[in-house]
Structure formats: C-alpha cells, structure tokens
Structure 1
C-alpha cells in the first residue's frame, strides 16, 4: 500500500475521485454460504454478468440489541430496535461468522487523528458492497438495482426506513445534496467520481423519483456502474455519495445566507465523520470524542442498519479507540507490549521483517499472527512522470527502450530476498495475480506475459540498449549523459517522512545500486510530504517511489492502466482526462500546459496514452465480458510493448495481520475466498470483513 501519511479530504479526492471501480461478479462464492442479490436484470445486463443472480439472506423475524441500547430504550431515550432498523436490514452473510456476545472495547492504532485508514474499518456508507475478495457483489444501503436494455440507465432502490446515527430519516435527498451542492458546485470542487461519467466522459444525470429510489442516466452504455459504486468505503475514501442534509445545510451558503467568504474549509471539517463528533453517520460506530494527535474514540451507532443471521443488531463491540502513534518504531514497540487488540500491518507499518520479533514477544502482546495474501501486483513500485517538466528528460522518459533498459538493470531478486523474505513472485510490474481478468479465459497467459515482459536481470543487455539510444558516458566520469550530451540523473523522489527502514526506502537503495552499476547516476530525493502531491501534479517531480499497485479488475479499475487523474505515471495527461465533460475541458487551449490551471496536457496523437484511452472507451461500453477481456488484453499489450510504465518488484507477497486472542469472527486466511486480499483500497480492508460482527469471547476482560 502507499506510504501512510495524513492527507486532507480534498487532496485525497484528487487521488481517488476519478477512480474506476472494481470487478464484475464471479460465479463462485467460496466465502459465504448465501449471496446478496439484485433484482432480475435486463437482458443486456444479464449477458454482461453471466450466471444466476445470488439470493439475499432473509431478515430474521425478531431482533435483539446491545444491553446498553436496551437500557436507553427502557429509559425512553431511544425507540425500540425494530423502529431503529430499516424495514429489511442488511444481513452479514460471511459463512465463518458465529453468534457473538455484546460488550467490550477494541484498541486500534493509527498514524494521525485524520488518518484515512480509520475510515477503512467501516463500510456503512457504501450503496453496494464487495464480498469474498471481490468475487461477489452484494447490496448495501441499496437493496436492489437494475439497468435498462443497453445499461445506459440504472435504478437503485435503497432500503426503506434507513436512519442516520442521530435518528433522522435517511433519504435520496442526502445524495442529491452531495451531488448538487458539492460535486456540481464549482466553488466547492468536490470532483466527479468516475462512476458518475459515461464512457464519453459526460457527467451522469441523477434524479430521485422518491425518497428511496435513485436513477442514474448516462449518454452511453455503462454496464459496469454497479461494480464501480461498490468500490472504497465511500464518504471520504472514494466518492462521498451522500451527506446528511438536515445537519450540514446550516454550513452551506445556499441554505444559510449568513455564511460569507470562503466557507469550503469549514464545511469540509464539519462533514468529516472522523473529525466532527456532531455530524451524523451511517457506519456501525460514530465518533464521540478525539484529541488532536492523540486518540479518537467511537461508540456504537444505535441506528446501524446491519444485523447478523440471528437478528442481533451490530456492532457487537461497544466502542473503539484509535490511538495515534506517528513514529513507526514506537508503534512497533507498543504493539509488542500488547497495547492493541487488532493491527492491520499495511496501515501500521508492520512487515514480514517484524514477524520474528512479534513471535518472540507473543507472550506479552498475546496476538495471533495471520499472514494474508496481499494481492499486490508490484510490491513497492517505481514510476517516472511521463509529464516531467524538463523537455530533454521528458523525451528520454517517454522512450520505451530507456525504461526497458532500466527494468533489465533492476536486481529484483535482491529486493525479494532482503525485503519480502523470498515470498511472492518476481514481476516487471502490472496488476496482481488475483485480478479478475487474469483468472478466466486467456487471462493467466496474459498475466504471465506482462509479469515477465522485462523481468530478467540482465545488466549487459541494459548497457547495450542505453548505448543504442545515445545514453553514453561522454566525459569519462563513469556515468552516462543524455542523448543531447547534457547530464543524466535519475532522481528517486519520495516523501521525506518515509520510514528509512521500510520497504520503500530499502527498495530505493536497490534501485540506486542497480542503476549506477550500468552507469546511470541515481539520487535519492526527499520531498516535503505536504508538497509532494502538488509538485507531482505540476510535473515538477521526476518519479514516485513509495506506492504499489493492487486491484481487483483491469476493466473496472483503469487507474494504473492509463492516465485518468493527476497522481500516477502521467499526471498532466491524467488531469486532462479528469476534466473531460466539465467546463474546464476546453479552457486555456492556448496556454502552456504547465501554466494552465490546473496543469494539464493532451496525449500525443496515436501515442500509447491516446491508444489506451481509445481502447478504454470501448472497454467501458462493452457488455460482453469475453469481448471486453480481449480489449483489455490489447491494453496490456501496449504496456508490454511500450512499457513498462511502472516498475514492480514482487507480486502477492504476504501481509501481516495481528489478532488478539479471544477476538472472534476475524476470518483466518483459510476461511477467506482467496486467502485474503489486503492491499486494494477498492476492496476495503478490514471493512469488507465487517468488524461490526467481531466480538470478544469475554467482553468484561476488554473494557476501556
């Protein structure tokens, strides 16, 4: 996963708002005994999905609640549980779940009070939900959905009787409030999520015939809308999709004329459910207090709309505390001393290198060590900016042979040995082996071709290729110059607060050693973390070295396949794509791309990005998965022949999860559908495993 940093909502949206969603529904369902469902689809949509639709779990006839809520009902402070739940609550379907016991407290760790990983524990704002590592798509707030014959119009039917955490009724007005007053409001600048665009880039038209029905109308077939909507946890990670109008309208100038000046920053803070205890939420726990830089405390939401098979309203655990520990080494020490109850290694900076120390201190921390598959396509990744501002270096970066030579010069075996303990598979870089398209039809062969395309460690061939393109040592100092004779330096840019002992920095050291061995001067370049995203979007940074690639589907998550927004391997071209269909699309055509607001540029005609975009337009409208896969393979071939656009090291290495003994309903690796799928934020971890259903076997031993 990317290096853990504190980000603002708006900077995160720049990285995610245009994200295409994840995978189509597979036929198998190994992680749950029952499937959640949609209404019968139209012929066009059914042909896109294949196979029978899964059946929903029926809501139990009676419901039960936590003792702390029952006491409030008795005192007249809350209505009965039947009145707090929707008419048809969502029933958590995982087959490994057992009936739990109410009570207790859960201690968790984070890197900052506004750490977005906190939101990854709660799936409650998602209209639709991924199940079984993305093999299945199930309902969420949406109970059923259908599309018209060409999938250009989608109708979502939300559960009747949903309520916000303050008891106020939820309705589609809360979606239209977000859409009209944040997304379409240019002053606010929310950003249009990709599920809200057609394949032509045109913005969707939203309408709400009633308080539980939403209609999405596109100007072109859009057969993957449901899959895209299921991505992320939403409302802060991914698209928001809803905001409580009854509460937030008071902070918006359209509804409160007394608001003057720049209102957006305050509105952002008031809507943030991990910073404002007053804002209503739909998640299983709601924030009740926090101290900046110290902790955040959450208590159960009495109106949470989810139950287990026996009718127990979730969550089981009364409260959570996320304690802020920003220093990685301090965090590891506190984990070993038993100060936390569940640790998601990818968020906490716990890697395979820490396993031996964790085993040695298990008598203190009393946590079981679980190794789940990461699903990663790359491990720690490197990629150049195809839009770097220096013309001579940009021209070199865009030469496939230059990037291919650097890939052949990269000693990935050393990375695998020293960082990933000889686990996972060496890879040139690409999407991961669990990606849906690579597990059907011709997919496994295409995956292996991409993985191995420029994989061999061959410094001699790399030197020969660099000689061929004119990168030679002209001045005899042992390092090569650019073809025009100017100094050639590859800069490894990274956030200055990156853990020096972590996988990204250690991988960067291997890159430096590997590339200098073939005569490429390579420099480590720390960048102020708060400035990194903006500098990258402006084309001022040469490379990114502290991310990785992980996703469930190629067709439904094209972010790494082609530029779509300004955070990946072609930031200015990505920004150009992101503004399609908006008023900005045709502005500043006569202005230098680097001086436009925001900086953006068109791809070279018939260049690799232009061809990837055109193929993607066909992918996005194709309902037949067999035909769609063939189009995806054409995109993969561009990456093989004219890439690599990003360099990976190791695919599908294990990730560490730590579970306190006595904490139940956290699945083991064997109980999951694919051995776990930890690293893809589209499939939110741990939210997809419903922490609301976790419970203590002895709650009285786990109080605050």
Structure 2
C-alpha cells in the first residue's frame, strides 16, 4: 500500500472529468449597487472565520417522496435529506477533486485495485453510536448490491458488470477490491453510508424499500450529516438542527456548521417562492430568466446579489416512451421506436425560439446530453444538429409512412391519427411554455398533441413505476463524470428514461453505448476516455432517444447577510461555513 498522496492520486487530477463552471463569490459593494448579474473570479475566494447563530430560511420545491436515500430518485427527495448523510469521500466543489469525508484517509496498492479506507474515529450517528467498518460493509454488500433493492446507485458500483468486493479489516478500516483500476473510483464511494444497527432488521425482513417513508418520525432518521431533520410537516415546512456529533470544526475550533438551525418552507409554486424571497421570508432563491426584469431592480433595496453560475450541466428534453411493458398502444410504440420519427420531432423543436421565450435568452441549444459546462466533451462541430425545420420534419414523417388526412393531420399506414399526450410537471413556467410551443409547432406539421401539466411526484411515479406515459418534458441534473450517469445511459439503468431496466440491450445502438461506457470506466488515459464518451454521446445525438432542447444558465439570488457564499452549478462550496451577519 502507498499513501493516498501518491503518483496515482496525482494522476487522478488529470483523469477526472474536469468541467469548470463559473465560480462566484460575493462582489464588492460597488458591484452590488450596479443591479447586475454578477460573475467573479474564483481565485479571489477563501473561507473566512465566521460566527455561530441565526436561522437559515430557505425553500424546498416540493414534498419528498421518501426519506430513504437509497430509494430517492427525484430532487424533491434528495433536497430534503441530502444534508443528513455522508459517504466515505466527497467532492471538493472548488477543485472538483475527491476529498475525505467519513474516511479521513485512504491508501491503495500499486495497481490501483485494492483500496483501504480509514474511518474517522470521531464520526457518530445521530444517536451517538460510532460509525464503524460494519456500517460500510453492510451498506455496500447488503443494500447497494442487494438484488431485491432497486437503486440508481447500483449502476455506478460495477466495473464491467462485476461488483466491488468490500470487507472489514478492523473496526475502523474497510478494504475495497475492484476488478480493474478506473478513474472515478474515489467519487464512486461517495455514496451515503447507512446505519447497520438501525436498518439491518428491515433488510433482513425485506421491508427496506418501504423503510423511512415520509410519515417516519424525523427522530427515527439516523444519519451522520451536518444537520438532522427534527420536524417535517407535509406540504408546509421542514426544520433542521445542527448535528451535535458532527466532527468538523473551523481552524479556531468553532463548531461547524456555523448556522445551528434551518427552516425550509415547502413551496411548489416558483412565483410564490419569489414573493417570499423578496419579502425576506427566505434567504436565497433560484432565479428564473423570466424573473430578471422584476428581480434586478430590487437588488439594492432588498440587499441581495444575483449570481450567474454559468452554463449548467443540467439538461432539458422531450422523451418518448419506448418500453414494451408500458400500457400504451403498440402502434404508438412502433412510432416512438423509429429513429426517423424522433429525428422529425427534433427538427420540429424550435430551440432558439424556446430559449428566447422561455429562458429570456439565458440558455444554450443542445442536441445531445453534453452542455457547455462539460468542457472536455462539449464540441459544437462533433455532434449531430437538428436546426428548426418544419419542412424537413414533415418530410421524415412522410418518408416512414405517414400520410396527410383531409383534416390536415397525419395518419399512419394503419389509419391511426398521429397524436400523443405530452406531460410535464405543473408549476414550472418554463416547461409549461415549452409544452405549448411544441404543441403549436407540431400541429403545423400534422401532429395532434394533448399537452398536460401534472404534479411532480405523480409524474415521477408514472415515469419510474407504472410507465403510464407517452411523452414527457423533463430534465436531469448533470454529473461531474459521465460514469455517474450510467443509471441513465446503460440499457440496464434504472433511469434509462425511454426503456429502463433492460435485461439485455433492445437495440444495437444501445449495446454499443453500453460497450463504450464500460470501456471508458476502466480507461485511465484522459484523452482516450473522453473520446469514448464523445462517441457514446454522438450515438445518442444520432438516435435522439431523448430530444434535448436546452441547457439553461443557472442564476441564484442570495441575501447579502449570508457570508462565505460560494455557489457553483454543483452546489455551494463549503456550505457548512456559511454564516449570518445581520
């Protein structure tokens, strides 16, 4: 074994998929007075000593579907429970490199196939019991690798379809043996570690998937994170208090987090969230481009700063259901599984019109799952493009057998009218605007779209549980490394949106994407690795299983009383060090 600061680890700096977004800090008073969106050089940011006290007031976009981090598949859940848990490692959001979390250090063999993690001896669960190697082994071997427990995490913890071998060395040491060295291993083991003494019985009696539902009393949720949930009222609010056992302190010995209490109102309507922010009831707000004319003029009076975090890795797209198990007509499945049908819809998507109308011009058109935030993979000339062209779209539809009826709508060879139901989540103005634009443009080429907006949690249930949907406008958060998107891109992936959980690839192109992702996982040469991923995303661009529309810029308004603020598109850097200065 070698020390973790080894040649291998230094090489990892170059191997990790680095796409650096704008990093922003609080500007000078002069800049604040300009009432403009602020971008600042990250080199000028450093964490300062803060002071304890106050209550952070924030908003949550919706109720959690579950408090179980393994079962959570949507941001409404992860936003509620994210601060409750830790992994062995975490990612430094300034450098995008892995750093210690529950593991205070690690070492590995020369080949990079055997890793030992040494746990913090001062890490404790919310109930005061120590975090040990037994918890780590239990989490991986009995939960993440359990065939009876579906989890998106599981897709990230295989190399060439082989598991990591995880075993206890002593009370505070865990060993991982992996089939081959691969670049993102230290990030892969950042998954939440769970308490064996609490959850073992639920795994054994096969009720784990329903454990820690949203009706679970908060005191029964046992984690290690900087905050614990102490109160949760469905549809109203969540209250957090600082974990008294949290190990981290600042350099003069003060407890971290500096802010001992968080109160988060559950507000599904972004318009209401904006009103609450401007009235001072919440301390920061994710600004929509359409909000800027109202928000910017009030920045000085209300004492806040609007930050532009730059291009996000998040993507927005339309996806058609290609799942043979879905309760939709077989003739529609035939349409949706036809590449030229999907390409026609892509040509009929007015991306620039959508960006100007829905995003106030603050977004980027995309045609595959790569945004300008993905610096190493983004290449405007490499991936196929589908510029807005209704004539081309209709030609493709006629080419695959659709014919125009007397009513102006298209019909397939069996006489079925070309119509489908397109859904999105209610309360999201951008997506609702996009849905209406698509409906109108598709009607111009003979497609009848029934556009509906529904509750987000209902939407997720349709997508991931009963598959009762035809087409949807939805988005995905990006990942720092494409490897961590395997739950979407592998044909076996739980979030393989158009046809999840395939036992074997249903098409040759999906099989090729599987191959490229699996090969990239063990490729340590960064240029070769990037090329493998680019080839995979080029196939996705050609096949259009997801019709990508736009990658918005991310805007954030923050009250100036919050100090040590360093937001990024990946989250807040050292958020535990944020403090309140009234």
- Name the TM-score class by shorter chain: 0.7 to 0.9
**Structure 2 contact 313–374 (Cα < 8 Å) conserved:** no
1:551 to 479, 483, 490: 479
What does residue 608 of structure 1 align with? 509
2:102 to 116, 141, 160: 141
Matched, 1:212 2:179: no
**Structure 2 contact 561–580 (Cα < 8 Å) conserved:** yes
What does residue 694 of structure 1 align with? 578
| Deviation at residue 205 of structure 1 after TM alignment | 2.2
What does residue 445 of structure 2 align with? 518
- What are the Cα deviations for residues 544-578 of structure 1, in whole angstroms up to 9, with x where unaligned? 2122453323344334444342434332xx3125x
**Structure 1 contact 269–276 (Cα < 8 Å) conserved:** no
**Structure 1 contact 549–560 (Cα < 8 Å) conserved:** no
What does residue 456 of structure 1 align with? 387
**Structure 1 contact 335–365 (Cα < 8 Å) conserved:** no
Matched, 1:315 2:257: yes
| Deviation at residue 263 of structure 1 after TM alignment | 4.8
| Deviation at residue 41 of structure 1 after TM alignment | 4.4
What does residue 405 of structure 1 align with? 344
What does residue 648 of structure 1 align with? 548
What does residue 435 of structure 2 align with? 508
In the TM superposition, 1:348-387 aligns within 5 A as 350-362=287-299, 365-376=302-313, 378=315, 380-387=316-323
| Deviation at residue 509 of structure 1 after TM alignment | 0.9
What does residue 70 of structure 1 align with? none
Determine the C-alpha separation between the residues in 2 that align with 1:191 and 1:412: 30
What does residue 47 of structure 2 align with? 97
| Deviation at residue 625 of structure 1 after TM alignment | 2.1
Task: Name the SS for the 1:615 alignment partner.
Answer: helix
**Structure 1 contact 338–364 (Cα < 8 Å) conserved:** no
**Structure 1 contact 284–692 (Cα < 8 Å) conserved:** yes
CA 301–534 in structure 1, closer or farther in 2 if over 3 Å, else same: closer
Q: Taking structure 1 as the reference length, what is the TM-score of the superposition?
A: 0.69
CA 306–476 in structure 1, closer or farther in 2 if over 3 Å, else same: same
In the TM superposition, 1:26-105 aligns within 5 A as 39-41=4-6, 50=14, 95-105=45-55
CA 549–530 in structure 1, closer or farther in 2 if over 3 Å, else same: closer
Task: Name the SS for the 2:502 alignment partner.
Answer: helix
| Deviation at residue 665 of structure 1 after TM alignment | 0.3
* Consecutive unaligned residues in structure 2, runs of 5 or more: 17-42, 65-75
What does residue 228 of structure 1 align with? 188
1:161 to 101, 104, 122: 122
In the TM superposition, 1:219-618 aligns within 5 A as 219-230=179-190, 239-243=191-195, 245-248=196-199, 252=202, 263-264=207-208, 267-269=211-213, 276-343=218-285, 345=286, 350-362=287-299, 365-376=302-313, 378=315, 380-387=316-323, 389=326, 390-435=329-374, 437-438=376-377, 444-445=378-379, 447-450=380-383, 453-473=384-404, 475-495=405-425, 498-499=426-427, 502-526=429-453, 529-537=456-464, 538-548=466-476, 550-571=478-499, 574-576=500-502, 602-604=504-506, 607-618=508-519
Task: Name the SS for the 2:105 alignment partner.
Answer: strand
What does residue 661 of structure 1 align with? 560
1:122 to 83, 98, 104: 83
Task: Name the SS for the 1:649 alignment partner.
Answer: strand
Determine the C-alpha separation between the residues in 2 that align with 1:270 and 1:570: 28
**Structure 1 contact 206–217 (Cα < 8 Å) conserved:** yes
Task: Name the SS for the 1:563 alignment partner.
Answer: coil
CA 557–437 in structure 1, closer or farther in 2 if over 3 Å, else same: farther
Q: Taking structure 2 as the reference length, what is the TM-score of the superposition?
A: 0.83
Determine the C-alpha separation between the residues in 2 that align with 1:352 and 1:486: 40
| Deviation at residue 342 of structure 1 after TM alignment | 2.5
2:536 to 635, 660, 671: 635
**Structure 1 contact 377–648 (Cα < 8 Å) conserved:** no
Higher strand share goes to which structure?
A: 2
- What are the Cα deviations for residues 50-69 of structure 1, in whole angstroms up to 9, with x where unaligned? 489xxxxxxxxxxxxxxxxx
CA 569–247 in structure 1, closer or farther in 2 if over 3 Å, else same: closer
Determine the C-alpha separation between the residues in 1 that align with 2:430 and 2:214: 36
- What are the Cα deviations for residues 278-321 of structure 1, in whole angstroms up to 9, with x where unaligned? 44432222223343433222222222122333443311112111
Determine the C-alpha separation between the residues in 2 that align with 1:553 and 1:399: 30
* Consecutive unaligned residues in structure 1, runs of 5 or more: 1-36, 53-92, 231-238, 255-260, 439-443, 578-601, 669-675, 678-682, 699-704
**Structure 1 contact 96–667 (Cα < 8 Å) conserved:** no
**Structure 2 contact 486–493 (Cα < 8 Å) conserved:** no
How many residue pairs align between the two structures? 540
- Runs in 1 of length 4+ with deviation above 6 angstroms? none
Task: Name the SS for the 2:420 alignment partner.
Answer: strand
Task: Name the SS for the 2:486 alignment partner.
Answer: coil
| Deviation at residue 145 of structure 1 after TM alignment | 2.6
Determine the C-alpha separation between the residues in 2 that align with 1:247 and 1:405: 52
Matched, 1:622 2:518: no
Determine the C-alpha separation between the residues in 1 that align with 2:77 and 2:288: 20
**Structure 1 contact 336–364 (Cα < 8 Å) conserved:** no
CA 189–414 in structure 1, closer or farther in 2 if over 3 Å, else same: closer
| Deviation at residue 269 of structure 1 after TM alignment | 4.2
Moved more, 419-428 or 212-221: 212-221
| Deviation at residue 372 of structure 1 after TM alignment | 1.8
**Structure 1 contact 554–561 (Cα < 8 Å) conserved:** no
CA 610–181 in structure 1, closer or farther in 2 if over 3 Å, else same: closer
**Structure 1 contact 47–623 (Cα < 8 Å) conserved:** no
CA 531–50 in structure 1, closer or farther in 2 if over 3 Å, else same: closer
